[in-house]
Amino acid sequence: MEESKTIKELKLKIQQLEKKAARQLQIKNQLEIARKNFLSAQNLLVNIVNGNPIPTFILDKDHKVIYWNQTLEKISGIKAKDIIGTNNQWQAFYNKKRPVMADLIINGADEEKFWSHYKNNTKYTTLHKSTLKEGAYESQDFFPGFGRNGMWLLANACPLTDDNANVIGAIETFQDVTKLINAQKESRRNEEKYRTLFKNAGDAFFLMDYDRLIDCNAFSLKIFNCSHEDMLGNSIFNFFPEIQPDGSRSRKGFQEKITRAYGGENQRFYWKFAGLFARGFDANVTLTRVEINSRYVLQAVVRDITQHVKAEKEVFRLRNYLSNIINSMPSVLIGINKKGQVTHWNFKAEQYTAGSKHGKLWARIYQWFSQGLMMKWERSKRQ
C-alpha cells in the first residue's frame, strides 16, 4: 500500500516535470523564433540603410554610431567599419568636435540651443522644426569637407523612440542641394545686378500688374513728379491725357499694347504723358513681359524724348522758314551735291525749268539755264 502511494507521487512529479520541460521547450522555441525574427529584421534594416541612396546614419541613446550606410561612406570618405561603435560622427561634418543634429535630439535640446550651433555659419544656412514629425528638425548648411569643393546638404534628423515614447536614439539623413543653392546664389546675384540697374537707370523703369504700378525706380518718381506712395498702386492710365497727339484715345491704345505685351510680343512706341502729377512730356516706351515669383508682370521703360521732339520741331520750322525765304527770292537759287545732282531749288529756278525734277545732273540743268538766259538776252537786244 505504502509503495503504491510512493509510485503515484513519483509519477505525478514526473508528469509535472514533463509539463515544465515542455513549457521550457516551447519557450525556447519561441525565443529562437523571436531571435531569428530579430536577426531577420536587423538584417533587413541593415540592407535598407545600406541600400538607401540617401546618406544616412543612426545613433543609439549613448550617441554611438550603430549604422552608417554606403552612400554616406561615399560622400564622407569615412568607412562604416571605422566609425560604427564610436561617437566620432562629427568628424565627417566638422573640423572640430561639436554635436550634429542627431546628438542634439538625443540630448533633448530646445530650438534656441539648436540654432546656437547654426546661426553663425552662412547666410544660406537654415534651421527649423519639421512639420511632419514631432521632435524632428531640418537644416541646410555647407560642408567644406564633402566632395571636391564642398557640398550644400539638406539634413533631416528625427528621434527614435520605444513603446513608451522614450528617446532611444536618432536617425539623420542628407540630401545634396549644392546645385540648387548655387542656382539661388546666381539668381540673387542677377537680381542684385538688375536691382542696381533698375534703381540707378537714367530712364524710368517700373513694373505693372496689368495697368497697376507695383514697383518703380527713382527716375520714375522724378519724371512723373510724384512720390512712391503716389505712384505705387496707381493706374498708368492716370498718367497720360485722354487723347494722344495723333488723335487716338489713350486708354484704348495703351490697353491694346498691354494685351500684346502679356501675349509675349514686346511693344515699342511713342507716347505722350501727362496727368495727375506728371508734366506733359514725350516719351519712347518699351513694354516687356517678365516672370517674377512664378507670375507674369510687365516691365516698362520710359525714355523722355521731349527735348528731341522739340529739336525736331525746331528743325522743321527752320526748314520751312528757310524754304519760304529761298522761294521768295527774285534770283535763281539752286543747290547741288558733289555728284552734280540738284538737291533743291527755289521757285524762280522752277520757272526756268518747268516740268523737270530734282536729281537731274547739273550739266543738263546748266544747259537749260544757259539756253534760257541766252534767249532772254537775244530778246533784250531786239527791243
Residue pLDDT, tens place only, 131-162: 878 889 999 999 888 878 888 999 999 999 98
How confident is residue 377, by pLDDT bands cut at 50, 70 and 90?
very low
Task: Please tell me the pTM assigned to this model.
Answer: 0.47
Q: Say if residue 254's pLDDT is above 90.
A: yes
Q: Say if residue 250's pLDDT is above 50.
A: yes
User: Could you tell me where the beta strands, DSSP code E, fall in 184-280?
Assistant: 204-209, 212-216, 267-273
For the stretch 73-91, pLDDT in tens is 888 889 999 999 999 999 9
Q: Say if residue 106's pLDDT is above 90.
A: yes
- Which range (126-140, 181-195, 262-276) has the least confidence? 181-195
Q: What is the CATH number of domain 52-183?
A: 3.30.450.20
The DSSP call for residue 294 is T
User: Yes or no: is domain 203-308 CATH 3.40.50.720?
Assistant: no
> In terms of Cα–Cα distance, which of 44, 78, 59, 71 is closest to 175?
71
For the stretch 204-217, pLDDT in tens is 888 899 999 988 88
pLDDT value at residue 267: 95
pLDDT value at residue 359: 46
Contact 71, 146 (CB under 8 A): no
pLDDT value at residue 70: 87
Question: What is the percent of the chain with per-residue pLDDT over 90, rounded to a whole number?
Answer: 27
For the stretch 163-175, pLDDT in tens is 888 999 999 999 9
How confident is residue 41, by pLDDT bands cut at 50, 70 and 90?
low
Rounded-to-integer distance, Cα 97 and Cα 90, Å: 6
For the stretch 338-375, pLDDT in tens is 766 777 777 777 776 555 554 454 555 556 555 555 55
Q: Say if residue 8's pLDDT is above 80.
A: no
Q: Which residue has the higher pLDDT, 278 or 138?
A: 138
Burial of 152 per CB tally in 10 Å (0-12, 13-18, 19+): buried
> In terms of Cα–Cα distance, which of 156, 145, 45, 53 is closest to 100?
156
Q: By 3-state DSSP, what share of the chain in percent is helix, strand and coil, each rounded to 5?
A: 45, 25, 30
For the stretch 44-68, pLDDT in tens is 666 665 556 789 999 999 999 998 9
pLDDT value at residue 270: 93
How confident is residue 317, by pLDDT bands cut at 50, 70 and 90?
confident
Q: Which residue has the higher pLDDT, 185 or 18?
A: 185
The sign of the torsion formed by the CA atoms of 250, 236, 278, 267 equals negative
